[in-house]
C-alpha cells in the first residue's frame, strides 16, 4: 500500500476510533492479542528464519507483545477522573478529558521484530489512545512485517491499521503526510534525527517520539565486584547478539581483576548471527578499530564478542558512544569521575553491597540527571511492561525525555488534554472518552 492511500484510510477511520468507549477499545486490543497468539507458531517460525534470533527469545517476545496489547486495553477501559473541579472564573465546572491526536506514523524496529516492530508498543499504545496507525515496515524483516500486518489488519476496524514499505524516501513521505499527527520511532540516532527534522519542517509541525542510541552505563562498586555480577553482565552484553537498546555499553569498576574477569567472560560466551550483514560489518569495524587503539579481549566467531579495556581517564569520544552488537567498554578507575562525562541514556545501573551505600548515594544524582531508569543490583536488559515503567531518557537516548514507549503511560504520547468548562453532562455521554469522565453535580 502506498503512503497516500494508507494515510487517507487512517484519516477516514479517525472519527470511528475516537468515538469508541473505553470498553470498545479494550475489546479491540484484546482481539489483536488473541489474533497474534493464535498465529504464534507461524509468527515465530517466520521471524526465526528472518532475524537469526533464538526461538526462546522470540516466543518470549510474542508473549510480551500480546501482554502489552491486553495491558493497554485494560488501561484504556479505565474511567477518567476529574482533574479540576469547581466553578471557574467564567462560570461552569471545569473537567479535563483526553482526546486522541489522530493518525500516528509508527516505524518498526529491527531488534525487537514483535514487541517493537509492526505489532509493537507504539502500535498498541496509539490504538489504545484511539488513534489509527500507519506502520512503516523495517526493511530487514519484510516477511515478518507482512505477516504481522495482515493479522492486525484483519483484527482491527477498516482503516485503523495500514502497512507501508520502502526506503528512506517513504519514511520521509510518511512523516510529511498532512494527515499524520504524531510519530513513534525506535532506531538509530541518524534515522530519528532525520524524521524529527522532517516533522519540524512541516507547515504544521508534529511531535516525534523517537527512541535512539543509548550507552546504558553500569557502575560496579567494590562490594559487588563478585562472580555473580560478572556472569550477569556478560550475559547482558552478549544476549541477543548485543542488539538490545538496553545493552550495557560501558562498565566502570575500581578493580582491575574484576575488569579482566568480565572481559574474559564476555569473550567466552557464544553469540548467534546479527540481524543484518550491515550490522555485522559495523561490529567488525569497531572491533578492528578498537584493537588497534586499545586493549581488546575477543572471542571467536562472526560476530565475535569482545571487550575493550581502558582506564577511566581514557573515557571520551567513541568510548562513550553506543556500539550495536556483542561488545562492551570496561573502564578501570573511580566511578565518581564518570557521570559528568555521560550523555543521556535509557538506563544507568549500580551494583553495590551494603558497605557501598554512602558512595552510591553520591553517584546517584549524576545518574538521575542522565538516565530514564536507574537499576540497582541488576542488569538493564529485560524491560518490564507495567504501569510504572519509564522507557525513555535525555537526548540522545530519546527525543522526548518526559515520555515513555513502554507501559501504560505510553498512551499519553498520542492524546492531548481538553478542558471542558460548563459543558452539559448529557452532551458527553456516548461521545468517545468524554463519556467516561465524570462531571460535577
Asked if 76 and 411 touch (Cβ cutoff 8 Å), the reply is yes
The per-residue DSSP string of 244-284 comes to -TT---EEEES-HHHHHHHHHHHHHS--PPPS-HHHHHHHH
Helix then strand then coil, in percent of the chain rounded to 5, is 45, 15, 35
Residue 54: HSE in the Cβ half-sphere, 13 Å Cα cutoff: 10
What is the rounded CA–CA span in Å between residue 182 and residue 271?
A: 37
Q: Which of 32, 61, 131, 245 is an active site residue?
A: 245
Distance CA 228, CA 383 (A): 21
Contact yes or no for 413/182 (Cβ under 8 A): yes
- Distance (Å, whole) CA 11 – CA 176: 14
**193, 199 Cβ separation under 8 angstroms:** no
Q: Residue 94 pairs with which residues in a beta bridge?
A: 421
Please compute Rg for the chain using Cα positions.
23
Q: In the annotation, is 245 catalytic? A: yes
**Looking at residue 216, what DSSP letter applies?**
-
- Whether residue 303 is preceded by a cis peptide bond, meaning omega within 30 degrees of 0, is yes
**Beta bridge partner(s), residue 310:** 331
Greatest pairwise CA separation for the chain in angstroms: 74
Burial of 85 from C-beta contacts in 10 A (0-12 / 13-18 / 19+): middle
Q: Any idea which residue has 537498546 for its cell? A: 245
Name the strands in the sheet holding 133-136, side by side, starting at the edge strand that comes first in the sequence: 161-164, 133-136, 104-107, 182-186, 208-211
CA 225 to chain centre: 30
Report the 10 Å Cβ neighbour count for 58: 23
- Which member of 211, 261, 409, 433 is catalytic? 211
Catalytic residue positions, numbered: 211, 245
Amino acid at each position: 500500500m502506498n503512503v497516500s492511500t494508507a494515510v487517507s484510510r487512517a484519516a477516514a477511520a479517525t472519527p470511528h476510533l475516537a468515538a469508541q468507549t473505553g470498553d470498545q477499545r479494550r475489546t479491540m486490543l484484546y482481539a489483536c492479542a488473541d489474533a497474534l497468539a493464535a498465529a504464534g507458531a507461524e509468527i515465530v517460525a517466520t521471524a526465526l528464519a528472518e532475524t537469526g534470533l533464538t526461538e526462546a527469545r522470540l516466543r518470549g517476545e510474542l508473549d510480551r507483545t500480546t501482554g502489552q496489547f491486553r495491558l493497554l486495553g485494560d488501561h484504556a477501559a479505565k474511567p477518567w477522573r476529574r482533574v479540576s473541579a469547581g466553578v471557574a472564573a467564567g462560570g461552569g465546572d471545569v473537567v479535563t478529558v483526553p482526546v486522541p491526536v489522530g493518525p500516528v506514523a509508527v516505524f518498526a524496529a529491527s531488534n525487537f521484530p514483535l514487541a517493537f516492530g509492526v505489532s509493537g508498543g507504539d502500535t498498541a499504545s496509539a490504538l489504545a489512545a484511539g488513534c489509527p496507525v500507519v506502520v512503516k515496515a523495517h526493511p530487514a524483516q519484510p516477511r515478518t512485517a507482512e505477516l504481522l500486518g495482515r493479522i492486525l489488519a484483519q483484527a482491527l476496524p477498516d482503516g485503523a491499521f495500514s502497512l507501508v514499505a520502502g526506503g528512506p524516501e517513504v519514511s520521509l513521505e510518511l512523516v510529511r503526510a498532512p494527515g499524520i499527527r504524531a510519530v513513534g520511532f525506535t532506531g538509530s540516532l541518524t534515522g530519528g534525527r532525520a524524521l524529527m527534522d522532517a516533522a519540524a519542517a512541516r507547515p504544521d509541525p508534529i511531535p516525534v517520539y523517537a527512541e535512539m542510541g543509548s550507552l546504558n552505563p553500569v557502575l560496579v562498586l567494590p562490594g559487588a565486584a563478585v562472580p555473580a555480577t560478572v556472569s550477569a553482565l556478560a550475559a547482558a552484553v552478549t544476549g541477543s547478539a548485543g542488539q538490545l537498546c538496553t545493552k550495557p555499553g560501558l562498565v566502570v569498576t575500581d578493580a582491575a581483576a574484576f575488569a579482566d574477569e568480565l572481559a574474559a567472560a564476555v569473550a567466552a560466551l557464544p553469540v548467534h548471527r546479527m540481524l543484518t550483514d550491515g550490522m555485522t560489518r559495523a561490529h567488525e569495524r569497531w572491533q578492528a578499530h578498537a584493537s588497534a587503539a586499545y586493549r581488546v579481549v575477543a572471542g571467536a566467531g562472526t560476530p565475535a564478542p569482545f571487550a575493550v579495556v581502558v582506564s577511566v581517564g581514557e573515557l571520551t569520544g567513541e568510548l562513550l558512544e553506543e556500539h550495536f552488537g556483542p561488545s562492551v567498554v570496561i573502564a578501570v578507575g573511580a566511578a565518581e569521575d564518570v557521570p559528568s562525562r555521560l550523555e543521556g541514556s535509557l538506563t544507568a545501573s549500580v551494583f553495590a553491597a551494603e558497605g557501598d551505600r554512602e558512595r552510591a548515594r553520591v553517584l546517584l544524582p549524576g545518574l538521575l540527571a542522565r538516565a530514564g531508569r536507574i537499576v540497582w543490583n541488576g542488569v538493564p536488559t529485560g524491560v518490564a511492561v507495567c504501569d510504572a515503567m519509564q522507557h525513555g531518557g535525555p537526548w540522545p537516548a530519546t527525543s522526548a525525555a518526559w515520555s515513555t514507549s513502554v507501559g501504560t503511560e505510553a498512551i499519553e504520547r498520542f492524546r492531548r488534554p481538553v478542558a471542558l468548562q460548563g459543558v452539559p453532562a448529557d452532551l458527553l455521554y456516548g461521545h468517545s472518552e468524554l463519556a467516561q469522565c465524570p462531571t460535577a453535580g
